[in-house]
Amino acid sequence: MSTTTVAPRRRLSQTTLVALLLLASAAGQHWLRPLVRSDSFQTWCTMFVAVVVQSTPFLVGGVLLSAAISRFLSEPLLRRVIPRNPVLAVPVAGIAGLGLPGCECAAVPVSEGLMRRGLPPAAALTFLLAAPAINPGVIVSTAVAFPNNHMMVVARVAASLVTAVLVGWWCVARGDRLGMVRRAAVHDHDRGFLDGALHDFLHAGGFLVIGAMTAAAVNTFVPRTWLDGVAGQAVLGVLVLALFAFIAALCSESDAFVAASLTAFSDVARLTFLVVGPAMDIKLAAMESGQFGTRFARQFVPVVVCVAIGTAVVAGKVLL
Amino acid sequence: MKPTTQGLVAAVLGAVVLRLALTDEYLHYVQAWMKVPLVLAGLALLGMGIRPALGRTPLEGRVPRTSWLLLLPTLIVFAVAPPPLGAFIAERRAPQAPSTLKAPTIRPVSDGGRPLDLAVEEFVWGAAQTDDPMSLHDRTVRLRGFVSADKAGHWYITALVIYCCAADVAVERVKVADGPSAPPRDSWVSATGTLVDGTGTDADIPATLAVTDVVEIPTPENPYS
């Protein structure tokens, strides 16, 4: 990694060295490009940059919104809208998820910003789970992808909302045992608006890159044919699509189209794919462990995945 | 990471995003409607990063080591300049489950004796309908796409459909019936021909075109549909 190349030198500052490295890669592209002609590596690069490019506007929007919440949303106002009791605040926060159009990457910094303003962590996490899954953009794209099956949209929204609320209540019950790391001290009120946003962006962005690297590798190298072998089996089909949703880390606005193309699978399995993906995937898991600490993530990630699978199966049996 | 480096990393990423959006290179990665969000995000990152990068605002607060990874997309764009996805992913993904194409909003109709210009995915959709709503039988069509192949040595006119970004790509392809030899893999062609009867309705028998004429064409600006 670049740290090793820049750490030990003394005469040139770290910033100058990074600038020189970037200039060298730009100036040397003529010689570098023939070295990387491998098809699979180039495909990975395209997919990796694609995920980063697609996510950047949402992440930038998220950190700016988070900075705006920190600065302009007063605690008394938040108290009036959200019930003081966390058990009641959780469902309110879940329904509020309808209002943030954007995908997962925006939701992580926004929920952190809401916590900084005194929203109970459980409610902020509920919002984090609900917003990418039930916002208007996702509802529209799911309806377009399943034109003859409107119950899929209803089941997706219902199962995602229930998942978010159940996990929120679980967080209320766990309380301090969640072991959430909060970086509240860094964000004092005197800091500039843009400086706070920059800090949040760098913090979340590195983890986003880790998630993008993994997702690009999965989408490049894992052949889709291995999915077909288990499509006919009810239980295994559900579990495999849940795993696929986790590792492929598709945007919640586009995953419905991929689900629609997995025609060999049962509707319940495809609903599971749509409920697990926005709630938890490898990109979100990386970002959340960066934001809230690994001890928290080790509990939160598996609980979210299990609750999402359970809710999706129940919703699928009842509604589809 | 030093405060000035933090600013530099953000500002450089902003500049790269802005350059991708303004040079239309962003079309290798995402859909066309992303242009405005990318320009705004690029400007915002430049705005956040430039003053700290020049040492004008002293930043406090440390960022985790993982933030260094934000240099990776920039280095890859500079050093690798990833090409649009093409035959490699199409051949890897091709034997996947049948596509669920939507009906075209406008059904193109032919105009006198000229061949009917269709997108690959429109042709595949039309060929899959048993009642032949686009009356493709015995009609000359012209398809544009890039060349991919299969292990048996057949070649295909291929289109890649993306819904959000290039990571969720889906493959649509039309097999070329025995006849003209394959142009170079990944080259773009315009092929004129007619649908081979009995192909395209079954997932095991891909839509096949009996090609009378193949012309190589330049790679289009937007490589996906």
B74-124 tens-digit pLDDT:
999 988 889 999 999 998 887 655 565 666 666 666 666 778 888 888 888
* pLDDT higher at B59 or B24: B24
Question: Is 50 exceeded by the pLDDT of residue A7?
Answer: no
b/e sequence A32-56, b meaning 16+ C-beta within 10 Å: beeeeeebeebbbbbbbbbbbbbbb
> Which has the closest alpha carbon to B39: B60, B59, B19?
B19
Terminal C-alpha separation, chain A? 49
B39 touches chain A (CB under 8 A): no
The nearest alpha carbon in chain A to B81 belongs to: A33
Of A30-44, A162-176, B28-42, the one with minimum mean pLDDT is: A30-44
Decide: pTM greater than 0.90.
no
Q: Does the model's ipTM exceed the 0.85 cut? A: yes
Residues 6+ apart with CB under 8 A from A196: A67, A70, A187
What mean pLDDT value characterizes chain A? 85
Question: Is 90 exceeded by the pLDDT of residue B35?
Answer: yes
Question: Is 60 exceeded by the pLDDT of residue A9?
Answer: no
B79-118 residues touching A, CB cutoff 8 A: 79-85, 88-89, 92-93, 95-100, 102
The rounded distance, in Å, linking the Cα atoms of A41 and B187 is 19
Residues 6+ apart with CB under 8 A from A216: A44, A45, A47, A48, A50, A51, B167
How sure is the predictor about A10, in pLDDT bands with cuts at 50, 70 and 90? low
- Contact check, Cβ <8 Å, B67/A22: no
CB B82 within 8 Å of CB A216: no
pLDDT at A32: 79
Token readout for A265 is: 């699978």
Question: Is 50 exceeded by the pLDDT of residue A5?
Answer: no
- Contact check, Cβ <8 Å, A220/B89: yes
How sure is the predictor about A302, in pLDDT bands with cuts at 50, 70 and 90? very high
**If residue B171 lies in a helix (H) or strand (E), which one and from where to where?**
strand B170-176
pLDDT at A183: 64
Q: For residue A9, which residues of chain B lie inside 8 Å, CB to CB?
A: none
Looking at chain A, the whole-number percentage of residues with pLDDT higher than 90 is 34
The rounded distance, in Å, linking the Cα atoms of A93 and A75 is 15
Q: For residue A21, which residues of chain B lie inside 8 Å, CB to CB?
A: 71, 75
pLDDT at B110: 60
Question: Is 70 exceeded by the pLDDT of residue A202?
Answer: yes
pLDDT at B107: 64
| Tens digits of residue pLDDT in B36-80 | 999 999 999 999 998 888 888 776 667 888 899 999 999 999 888
| Tens digits of residue pLDDT in B192-221 | 999 998 888 877 788 899 999 999 999 988
Question: Is 90 exceeded by the pLDDT of residue A37?
Answer: no
Region B139-154: mean pLDDT is 90
Q: How far is CA A206 from CA A129, B83, B116, in A?
A: 21, 24, 49
Question: Is 50 exceeded by the pLDDT of residue B177?
Answer: yes
The rounded distance, in Å, linking the Cα atoms of A117 and A78 is 8
Q: For residue B47, which residues of chain A lie inside 8 Å, CB to CB?
A: 194
Token readout for B9 is: 């990393």
Question: Is 90 exceeded by the pLDDT of residue A272?
Answer: yes
* pLDDT higher at B21 or A18: B21
Region B137-162: mean pLDDT is 90
- Contact check, Cβ <8 Å, A198/B71: no
The rounded distance, in Å, linking the Cα atoms of A164 and B194 is 52
The rounded distance, in Å, linking the Cα atoms of B158 and B206 is 12
**A-B contacts at Cβ under 8 angstroms:** 230
pLDDT at A1: 41
pLDDT at B105: 65
Residues 6+ apart with CB under 8 A from B53: A15, B4, B7, B8, B10, B11
- Contact check, Cβ <8 Å, A50/B49: no
What is the identity of the amino acid at A194? L
Q: For residue B73, which residues of chain A lie inside 8 Å, CB to CB?
A: 48-49, 52-53, 209
pLDDT at A3: 45
pLDDT at A185: 44
Q: Which of A1, A49, A219 sits opposite B76 (nearest CB)?
A: A49
